[in-house]
Structure 1
Amino acid sequence: MRQEDLSGALDFLRAAERLKDTFRSGFTAEGRPESTAAHTWRLALMAIIFEKDLGEIDFGRLLKILIVHDLGETLSGDVPAVAQMPGEEKVAQERADLLELTAPIDPTRRQAILDLWEEYEAGTTPEARLAKGFDKLETILQHNQGLNPPDFDYRFNLDYGRSATDAHPLLQAIRAVLDAETEARAENSRVD
């Protein structure tokens, strides 16, 4: 590797570290805000755990998609699903941020990351559809497990990402379990 490419790769990795401090809407079981990096880690772990149940897919490609799918949140942060408004350019902002974040990387590596991110956004491959479904399921899993504020809207998750989680029988089975947990959390958190 050329010294210039090595320096660029390290600059990119230093900048990507910001995902450790990019917080999401969920909380850990201990009550700390969840970071995007933590979400991505458990999302990849989830795929590893269920790998043998996914059928004929390119598992390495799935993992790569999972790792890069939220890199665009590094600079401008995460916009929780409950706060997203129709017509907002969330995807365009994430793409612009991803382009800025990956600028130090040599063109071949940069394009590989952009291609994976765009594949996820388009959702046209089996790997991208699985990534989208797992992404929604990990979010719901965290919301059900987290020490959330008293006014947390658990019922929002009952419809959240439904089309993505309907994309594969395994995702549907996981969703059924998580929906039952969501209902229980919603009932137990009601203020009378």
Structure 2
Amino acid sequence: MVLSENMDAVCCLLDFLRRTEALKSTLRSAWTQSGRQESTAEHSWRLCLFAMLVSREYPELDALKILHLCIVHDMGETIHGDIPAPEQTGSKDEQERNDMVDLLRPLPEDMQKEIMDLWEEYESAKTPEARLVKALDKLETILQHAQGANPPDFDYAFNLNYGTQYTEVDSLVKELRAAVDLEMESCILFRRTHL
């Protein structure tokens, strides 16, 4: 479909963008350096930046697909928000899948399918691109937890085991994981010595 030749398609695209604006106000359990809660949109932006910087180390992978996966990976949180990892009791896939279907409704079917296919690829982590994005997603979260001005009861230790099943991808990701874990251990040590 050529958008410039179809006013209905343009209106649908703008409607979808208006709906996804809510991701800018969807708060996560991470805090920024300034002491306010991070939004899912902010996390997704820095994940995209992280992926852009790292993807050059993976010339065999599709860099554009990696960025697309980063953009859509948390889009389902637009409707019901983010559930922090320590509070997750089971799979949140079904609720997010339903939210994605609802969110994508204004788009033409081919766009709905394209975005949903990307989201499902990320969720299943069956492709090398999706596995890399899953790993970077976990690393970006841990980095933010180490960097943020967190509340006094923040559980830094949780991060040392967070997402380990996804960060065993390759030597570069393992090196990145070791670096962010070291930063997290410094946060834990600092907290112990200053309380």
Please indicate, yes or no, whether the TM-score normalized by the shorter chain is above 0.5: yes
- CA displacement at 1:133 relative to structure 2: 0.2
Distance 1:56 1:173 in 2: 20
Q: In the alignment, is the contact (CA less than 8 A) between 1:24 and 1:78 conserved in 2?
A: yes
Q: Which runs of 4+ in 1 moved over 4 A?
A: none
Which of 146, 149, 156 aligns to 1:147? It is 149
Alignment coverage as a number of residue pairs:
190
1:126 equivalenced with 2:138 (yes/no)? no
Higher mean displacement: 53-62 or 74-83: 53-62
RMSD: 1.0
Distance 1:51 1:135 in 2: 14
Q: Which amino acid aligns with 1:15?
A: R
Alignment partner, residue 157 of structure 1: 159
- CA displacement at 1:83 relative to structure 2: 0.5
1:46 equivalenced with 2:21 (yes/no)? no
- CA displacement at 1:55 relative to structure 2: 3.9
- CA displacement at 1:12 relative to structure 2: 0.4
1:9 equivalenced with 2:13 (yes/no)? yes
- CA displacement at 1:54 relative to structure 2: 2.3
Q: Structure 2: 5+ residue runs without aligned partners?
A: none
Distance 1:60 1:42 in 2: 16
SS in 2 for 1:62: helix
Distance 2:64 2:83 in 1: 28
Alignment partner, residue 73 of structure 2: 69
Alignment partner, residue 37 of structure 1: 41
Alignment partner, residue 89 of structure 2: 85
Higher mean displacement: 9-18 or 54-63: 54-63
Q: Which amino acid aligns with 2:156?
A: Y
SS in 1 for 2:83: coil
Q: In the alignment, is the contact (CA less than 8 A) between 1:54 and 1:170 conserved in 2?
A: no
Q: In the alignment, is the contact (CA less than 8 A) between 1:22 and 1:35 conserved in 2?
A: yes
Alignment partner, residue 103 of structure 2: 101
Distance 1:93 1:58 in 2: 29
- CA displacement at 1:135 relative to structure 2: 0.3
Q: Deviations over 1:147-169 (max 9, x none)?
A: 00111111101110001111122
Distance 1:54 1:165 in 2: 16
Q: Which amino acid aligns with 2:9?
A: D
Q: Structure 1: 5+ residue runs without aligned partners?
A: none
